[in-house]
Amino acid sequence: MINIAIERDKGGRIVAFRVRGHAGYATYGKDIVCAAVSALTQAAIIGLEEYLALEPTVVIEPGLLECTLKERPEGLAAQVDAILETMLLGLGGVAAEYPDCVCIIEGEVD
C-alpha cells in the first residue's frame, strides 16, 4: 500500500507531502500504480523547483518521497497552489481507481 500524507497550513494550503510504501499491484518495474504516483509527485517537485525556482526540502529514498515547502512567496502563491492541488487531484484519481493500493490522508499542521 502507498500511503500519502498531505499537510496543509491553517489557510488550507498544502505545505508538505509524504509518500511511503509500494502499491504491490505488480512486480517491480511493471507496477503502474507506483509509476503513476511517482510521476505525479515528482512532476510537482519539478514544477516547484524548475518552473517556480523554489527550493523545497526533498527526500527521496527507496519507498519514500518527502517534499516540504520552506517558503511560499506571496507572488507565487497561486502557482504553488495550482501545482500542488493538481498533483493531489491526480493522486486522488489514482486512489479512486486503485483503493487497495493507495491511501491519502490530509491534515493540518501548525
Give the CATH number, domain containing residue 54.
Answer: 3.30.70.1490
- 60 pLDDT exceeds 90? yes
Instruction: Return the pLDDT at 54.
Output: 97
Report the predicted TM-score, pTM, of the whole model to 2 decimal places.
0.94
Q: What are phi and psi of 105, to 5 degrees?
A: -125, 130
Beta bridge partners of 58: 67
- By CB atoms closer than 10 A (0-12, 13-18, 19+), residue 76 is middle
Q: Domain limits at 68?
A: 2-108
Total number of domains in the chain: 1
- Neighbouring C-beta atoms of residue 30, cutoff 10 Å: 9
Once rounded to an integer, what is the mean pLDDT over residues 25-36? 92
Q: Which residue has the higher pLDDT, 26 or 47?
A: 47
CB 94, CB 2: distance < 8 Å: no
DSSP 8-state assignment for residue 91: H
